[in-house]
Amino acid sequence: MAPIAATVNNNERPNERPMSAGPEAEFAELAASLPPTLKAERHGAVAVLKLARAQKRNALDDPTVFGIETFFSNLPEDIRAAVIAGEGEHFSAGLDLSELSERNTFAGVEHSRSWHRAFERIEFGSAPVVAVLHGAVVGGGLELAAAAHVRVAERSAFYALPEASRGIYVGGGGSVRLPPLIGTACVMDMMLTGRTLSAEEGQTIGLTQYLVDEGQGLAKGMELAHRIAGNATFTNFAVTHLLPRIARSDPSAGFVAESLAAAIAQGDEEAKARLKAFLEKRAPKVARS
């Protein structure tokens, strides 16, 4: 299917925009509501959101963050997976530091919470999200990437948390999302020393799940997103919404939640049809890839 794309300068907050009838018209309207720093496309059941501020290394300003929240809060129901990527030479160099000069302490708290809300719509939204990383994945850009469920890196990618050298602290959820991914000690090292990790180092410590050659990231991300979109709806929901919470819970509570999720999944009509297809040898077996 040909992509549907549109961008206009409109900084409305999420959920304040009326939707048109029909998923394709709904997506076109959603794309048109985004600020010019974001571009949205649709490829069948997969939505693509690109950071489009290449001249600023895709630094994240307030309209961009609000646009990210709008996009992931309003995906049409037939979108089953999403990809987030950056145009130009970098994924994102993080917070646009020019926005810090006029912000007092309370406004700083509110600003951080606005990033939390936006990135939570990625982590706990309606569709699994694949992040495609290249070039700078720095500060808030790394926090944005950490909110995705699957991360693909090109070999040009590099990761850093330079907040300490700027006299500031992470505010986009990095304190919460990064330690489970790469370990608290590694996050402390990056923040205290300004250490930069290469794409290969990021892959080794588990920050990314896939490492590909330069220019191959988006194709790999799209391949994975289409594969994810083909899963059962409830299974994708359980993996993205329940699994992270089960992993952080008391084991006894986690076992109960897992049992409930398993029972709901196997009782779903879509799951029954898929299992029947497998038993009747109409579905492929697991094979080495």
Q: What is the predicted pLDDT for the residue at 155?
A: 98
Q: What is the predicted pLDDT for the residue at 45?
A: 98
Give the pLDDT band of residue 71 (cuts 50, 70, 90).
very high
Q: Which residue has the higher pLDDT, 168 or 89?
A: 89
Question: Which member of 69, 123, 154, 163 is catalytic?
Answer: 163
Domains and CATH numbers, the chain: 23-229 (3.90.226.10), 233-279 (1.10.12.10)
Return the structure tokens found at 220: 């790999």
Question: Which member of 26, 69, 143, 154 is catalytic?
Answer: 143
Give the pLDDT band of residue 35 (cuts 50, 70, 90).
very high
| Mean of pLDDT over the chain | 89
Asked if pLDDT for residue 11 goes beyond 50, the answer is: no
pTM assigned to the model: 0.88
Q: What is the predicted pLDDT for the residue at 178?
A: 98
Q: What is the predicted pLDDT for the residue at 97?
A: 81
Asked if pLDDT for residue 271 goes beyond 50, the answer is: yes
Q: Which residue has the higher pLDDT, 56 or 287?
A: 56
136-154 confidence digits (pLDDT tens): 999 999 999 999 999 999 9
Q: What is the predicted pLDDT for the residue at 268?
A: 74
Tell me if residue 163 is catalytic: yes
208-262 confidence digits (pLDDT tens): 999 999 999 999 999 999 999 999 999 999 999 999 999 999 999 999 999 999 9
Tell me if residue 143 is catalytic: yes
Asked if pLDDT for residue 4 goes beyond 90, the answer is: no
Q: What is the predicted pLDDT for the residue at 1?
A: 42
